[in-house]
Amino acid sequence: MSGQEGCCVTKRLQNELLQLLSSTTQSIGAFPVDDNDLTYWTGYIMGPQGTPYSDLKFKISLNFPENYPFHPPKVKFVSPMWHPNVDKSGNICLDILKEKWSAVYNVETILLSLQSLLGEPNNRSPLNAVAAELWDKDMEGYKKKVLMCYEEIDDY
Amino acid sequence: MYTPIPANTPAPTAPTSSMTSNSSSASNSNTSGSNTNTRNGRPSGAPSNERVRSGSGISSFLNTFGIRQNNQAVSSSSAAPDQRLFGTTPSNSHMNVVMESANIAALQQEPRLHHPIQMPPSAQFHVHRNYQLPISLSLTAPMSTDQPSQQQSSPQNFEVNNAATIHETLNQRQTNNANNTTTSITSMTPATITRNNTGFMTTGAEGSAVATGNQEMYKNLRHLIYAANQPNGTEILHLDLPTASAEDASNITNVDEVTLKQRKDKHGLFSIRLTPFIDSSSTTNQGLFFEPIIRKAGPGSQLVIGRYTERVRDAISKIPEQYHPVVFKSKVVSRTHGCFKVDSQGNWFIKDVKSSSGTFLNHQRLSPASSLSKDTLLRDGDILQLGMDFRGGTEEIYRCVRMRIELNRSWKLKANSFNKEALHRLQNLQKLTAGVEEEDCSICLCKIKPCQAIFISPCAHSWHFRCVRRLVMLSYPQFVCPNCRSSCDLEASFESSDEEDESDVESEGDQLVDQLSVLMETSKDVESHP
């Protein structure tokens, strides 16, 4: 990473951290894992109300590349997650984290997008086909499966 | 948990400590031949298990904004500060930090708590950006004491400020007793610590201060940054001026208060700005490229010019950039190549400190190779060159450094009414087109302020040019706005494609032609009637 590039990433992430710390939103949050490395964060999202995920808390990892914000961070679910757009490894299929990424997106917008994805999955391009099918046909069965997979996190 | 610092809380400083030269332990270590002094039943060399608040990374960044971490990950051993930074202890001495606290055991048993995410919305950020001056550091190893003195230094109280300076305080004893914190310096070859006329502590064999006139001092040239209120700024510089011309003499003499005020920034510091000098007429390479350098200093300060090394990086890591030495990643620049000096009138001087490849001011070499130059007065716009290209300067690391010097320009960076009005108009434009008044650049999340280079897209969104440049170049001439995703052609001609507009342009053109023909006819009439 060139000095100038690294400096830009650090400054941007510092601003994002301050923005998140001063935010009043209780349902999302993130913080750098290591004091001396701002490029690796861990975050959480609360499941939105009125969805199978309501009142559940999920842990997320965010890995920022050296050319952030011009390239998206690598975002994964650390907590086990049963969702049509999340695979067993925690990889997420979300357009804004791939081809629709824009430099104006930030950690807060990513977490909010993931939160809305929990309530509105994109079943046309699922990573977990079984979950997609279950979402469309049997919501009660889906809820049970979500709770079976869920592991409570106590890190935050 | 993060708690906001109340507005009336003083700026957080490093814990003050009483630094004493422990003569008995020093003599013991010398006689026994071992250097493990014991204190409180523990070898001083052994790592202590006390919890020490980490001062680096996110913690210090958050402290800047008044957010304190009450529970934090702590390093297992407290590392002693780099003594080269101070130059006040011999190179083979040991600094042992011993913390005696009643609740250490309780602290050790306390489990590590994870960082909570939220902060109360009522939290008020209280910014602490004041850095304690003066700063004194050496870019090279401290001078060795060849003949160590046998006399022991008497215990004195010192205060450590930001791991950059050591200076005496009289009222420190009470604070130390209250904090119950002791720092002992034990030295294998103790040297008396004395105070020179700059207010810094210096060490030397036989306890004598280093003679200022002695050229040996330039082997360990110190980078000294004083605060704005430093008295006798010109005297402590010990300027060695050349036989000055009348013009130079008039420049160095006292300036009026208005000029002096203009030369200073809002903190009362003088400034120097160095930008790469690009000579368009030159056929050879353009020298080493570097980002513009701005340094600030109070009267009497001496800024070292040198080569960037690992040692320099370590020494300057905890100092704000505006107080850093001027260092370049070029092999043709000596480790301590020269120095800038500033007097109490804001006059800046350059001195070549025995550099091997030379220092050139406006293409004139200041002194022969490996010899000391006089202090030469700098003027705004001067061209300074450090070293000469080596191996034709084909590799960047062997290029000389050419720079343009701008002096005391801080006051010019203030936004005038035109700058403010221009930004205000831009914000109004955004309000009209997008319906939103954006104050921040959405890429770096920093405010857009007057006097900054801004890129405005056809959709009226704006960013710092530095931030958006990469996106502009990515698919040039096409540009997709990162805010609203509207696409535009940056090379599109300025002629309007709208038919109505075109007809308007044509009619305006016709009118101009008509007016011109009328004017020509009248001029003919004037010529025909003498």
A117: CATH: 3.10.110.10
What contacts B343, CB < 8 A, 6 or more positions away? B233, B234, B237, B239, B252, B299, B300, B349
Q: What range defines the domain where residue A29 resides? A: 3-149
Active site residues of A: 93
Please tell me whether residues B195 and B261 are part of one structural domain: no
> Does B66 or B522 have the greater pLDDT score?
B66
pLDDT at B520: 56
Contact B2 A15 (CB under 8 A): no
Whether the per-residue pLDDT at B49 is higher than 80: the answer is no
Residue B424 lies in a domain: yes
pLDDT at B422: 79
B353, B221 Cβ separation under 8 angstroms? yes
Task: Give the bridge partners for B67, in sequence order.
Answer: B4
Q: State the nearest Cα–Cα gap between B53 and chain A, in angstroms.
A: 12
pLDDT at B286: 63
Please compute the mean of the pLDDT values over residues B419-434 and round it to a whole number. 70
What contacts B437, CB < 8 A, 6 or more positions away? B427, B428, B430, B431
User: Which of the four pLDDT bands, split at 50, 70 and 90, describes residue B325?
Assistant: very high
Please tell me whether residues B409 and B472 are part of one structural domain: no
Residue A20 lies in a domain: yes
Q: What range defines the domain where residue B277 resides? A: 222-242+251-413
Contact A34 B57 (CB under 8 A): yes
Please tell me whether residues B159 and B262 are part of one structural domain: no
Please tell me whether residues B391 and B461 are part of one structural domain: no
> Does A59 or B87 have the greater pLDDT score?
A59
Residue B500 lies in a domain: no
User: Token digits for B371?
Assistant: 């010899």
Whether the per-residue pLDDT at B340 is higher than 70: the answer is yes
Contact A22 B59 (CB under 8 A): no
Phi first, then psi: give them for residue A92, nearest 5 degrees. Answer: -115, 135
Residue A155 lies in a domain: no
Please tell me whether residues B56 and B200 are part of one structural domain: yes
Q: How far apart are CA B252 and CA B377, in angstroms?
A: 8
Q: How far apart are CA B503 and CA B500, in angstroms?
A: 5
For residue B404, the SS3 value is strand
Q: What is the DSSP string of B263-328?
A: HS-TTS-EEEEEEE---TT--S--------EEEEE-TT-EEEEEE--HHHHHHHTTS-GGGS-EEE
Whether the per-residue pLDDT at B21 is higher than 60: the answer is no
| Domain CATH for B398 | 2.60.200.20
Please compute the mean of the pLDDT values over residues B305-317 and round it to a whole number. 84
Residue B55 lies in a domain: yes
Please compute the mean of the pLDDT values over residues B125-145 and round it to a whole number. 57
B1, B116 Cβ separation under 8 angstroms? yes
Which of B1, B52, B54, B58 has the highest number of chain A CBs within 10 A, making it the mutation to test binding with A?
A: B58
Please tell me whether residues B327 and B304 are part of one structural domain: yes
Please tell me whether residues B167 and B293 are part of one structural domain: no
Residue A140 lies in a domain: yes
- Picking from A77, A100, A98, A99, the residue whose alpha carbon sits closest to that of residue A89 is A77
C-alpha gyration radius of chain B: 31
pLDDT at B406: 85
pLDDT at B328: 92
What residue in A sits closest to B446 (Cα-Cα)? A15
B167, B53 Cβ separation under 8 angstroms? no
Residue B201 lies in a domain: yes
pLDDT, tens only, B88-123: 333 333 333 333 333 444 444 444 434 444 444 444
Residue A154 lies in a domain: no
Residue B513 lies in a domain: no
Please tell me whether residues B262 and B203 are part of one structural domain: no
pLDDT at A111: 92
pLDDT at B191: 34
Nearest by CB to residue B291, choosing from A4, A21, A69, is A4
What contacts B314, CB < 8 A, 6 or more positions away? B82
Please compute the mean of the pLDDT values over residues B222-242 and round it to a whole number. 79
Residue B107 lies in a domain: yes
Contact A103 B442 (CB under 8 A): yes
Which of A22, A26, A45, A107 has the highest number of chain B CBs within 10 A, making it the mutation to test binding with B?
A: A22
Residue B123 lies in a domain: yes
Q: State the nearest Cα–Cα gap between A21 and chain B, in angstroms.
A: 6
> Does A102 or B75 have the greater pLDDT score?
A102
Residue B376 lies in a domain: yes
> Does B21 or A2 have the greater pLDDT score?
A2
Number of domains in chain A: 1
- Picking from B347, B380, B172, B185, the residue whose alpha carbon sits closest to that of residue B273 is B380
Distances (CA, A) of B276 to A128, B69, B406: 56, 42, 11
Query: Tokens 């996110």 identify what position?
Result: B58
B29 CB neighbour count, 10 Å cutoff: 19
Domain boundary among B388, B413, B438: B413
Please tell me whether residues B87 and B181 are part of one structural domain: yes
Please tell me whether residues B229 and B330 are part of one structural domain: yes
Residue A27 lies in a domain: yes
Q: State the nearest Cα–Cα gap between B57 and chain A, in angstroms.
A: 5
pLDDT at B182: 35
Whether the per-residue pLDDT at B174 is higher than 90: the answer is no
| Domain CATH for B484 | 3.30.40.10
Number of domains in chain B: 3
Please compute the mean of the pLDDT values over residues B35-48 and round it to a whole number. 42
Whether the per-residue pLDDT at B309 is higher than 70: the answer is yes
B11, B130 Cβ separation under 8 angstroms? yes
B337, B307 Cβ separation under 8 angstroms? yes
Please tell me whether residues B319 and B401 are part of one structural domain: yes
Tell the burial category of B517 from Cβ atoms under 10 Å away from its Cβ (0-12, 13-18, 19+).
exposed
Q: How far apart are CA B206 and CA B189, in angstroms?
A: 11
Strands A74-77 and B201-203: unpaired
Please tell me whether residues B475 and B423 are part of one structural domain: yes
CA dihedral B321, B325, B331, B336 (to 10 degrees): -170
